Amino acid sequence: YGSIGTLLIVLVWIYLNSISLLIGFELNASIMNAGMGKEKGKKHQIK
């Protein structure tokens, strides 16, 4: 297949990496939102 096969493999590799990055970003945002809710509750209790 030569260069066309290499190009396809590179494109699939980039696609899979971008999907894994998006999943990681979503997971990080979910964890941050869950943590922010707990911190806000503590701040309101202090007041």
pLDDT(31) > 70: yes
Helices (H), ranges, the chain: 3-46
In the block, residue with structure tokens 């290499």: 6
Give a yes or no: residue 30 inside a domain: yes
Q: Which amino acid is at 37?
A: G
pLDDT of residue 36: 79
The number of domains in the chain is 1
- Give a yes or no: residue 46 inside a domain: yes
pLDDT of 38 reads: 63
Range of the domain at 37: 18-47
Residue 6, domain member (yes or no)? no
Q: How confident is the model at residue 1 (pLDDT cuts 50, 70, 90)?
A: confident
Residue 39: per-residue pLDDT: 59
Residue 5 lies in a domain: no
**27 in any annotated domain:** yes
